[in-house]
A = this chain, B = another copy of it.
Amino acid sequence: MGVAERRAREKELRRETILDAAKDVFSRKGYQGATMEEIAALAEVSPATLYLYFSNKSELYASLNIKMLAFLCRRLEQVAGQKGLEPPEKVRRLAHAMHDVYTFDPLILTNVLHMQASQELTELSPELKEQINSMAAQGLRLMAGIFQQGIEQGHFKPHHPVALADLVWAVFSGLVLWEESKRGFAPDKDYLQTTLELAIETMARGISN
């Protein structure tokens, strides 16, 4: 059992190594631009080894994105689930949460947003596509829940909460991708932090005036 256990742990470890390498390469080159060879080299395995862990390129890509969406959702759940907080405060924490994710690993969001913003999804198998879409939807639902509460309690002017969540997500995508696009120009993390927080809050209030 000891052997089997260690094997399993080692296997899981290597899987993570590969996913890490994939995250890096996919975020730098995009889905089409990334090559299995480069991912393999970064993970320090042979290309053939990748296929022991993922049945093909698109499944690797999908697994990666699912993992990252899961991380994002978990963080959003923490915020949404906090009892006894006024919605405006929750909105502020929402901004913090997304910024946290970005600070923890900018590539996570870069990948998720790139995926949302582009066509790679069409190449995936329907099941994986479905899984990814439903996780993304859950993220939006969590955000929408916060606004819903705020509207019900009179903090925000009546407006469809899903539309608000959409808008926040869009703003957020814009900010992060914009940061990304300026890579090399020493992006200021505080700048993102501040504008993000402000943008989300004013948006949540202003949109329905």
| One of B118, B167, B199, B201 near A114 (C-beta < 8 A) | B118
Known: A30-B119, A207-B195. A170 touches B163 (CB 8 A): no
Residues of A within 8 A of B (CB): 28-33, 113-114, 116-120, 163, 166-167, 169-175, 177-178, 180-181, 191, 195, 198-199, 201-203, 206-207
Most B Cβ at <10 Å: residue of A31, A116, A120, A177: A177
- Do B191 and A199 touch (CB < 8 A)? no
Shortest Cβ distance from A33 into B: residue: B32
Chain B positions within 8 Å of A33 at CB level: 31-32, 119
Query: 20 additional contacts, CB 8 Å, given A31-B32, A32-B33, A199-B207?
Result: A29-B32, A30-B30, A113-B177, A114-B117, A114-B118, A116-B177, A116-B181, A117-B178, A118-B118, A163-B191, A163-B195, A167-B199, A170-B174, A170-B178, A173-B173, A173-B177, A174-B174, A177-B177, A199-B206, A202-B206
Q: A191 CA to B167 CA in the complex, in Å?
A: 10
- Give 29 A-B contacts (CB < 8 Å), ordered by A residue: A28-B119, A29-B32, A30-B118, A30-B120, A31-B33, A113-B117, A113-B177, A114-B117, A117-B117, A117-B178, A163-B195, A166-B178, A167-B199, A169-B174, A170-B174, A170-B175, A170-B177, A170-B178, A171-B175, A171-B199, A173-B173, A173-B177, A173-B178, A177-B177, A199-B203, A202-B202, A202-B203, A202-B207, A203-B203
A68 vs chain B, min Cβ distance (A): 15
- Do A119 and B195 touch (CB < 8 A)? no
Chain B positions within 8 Å of A167 at CB level: 175, 195, 199
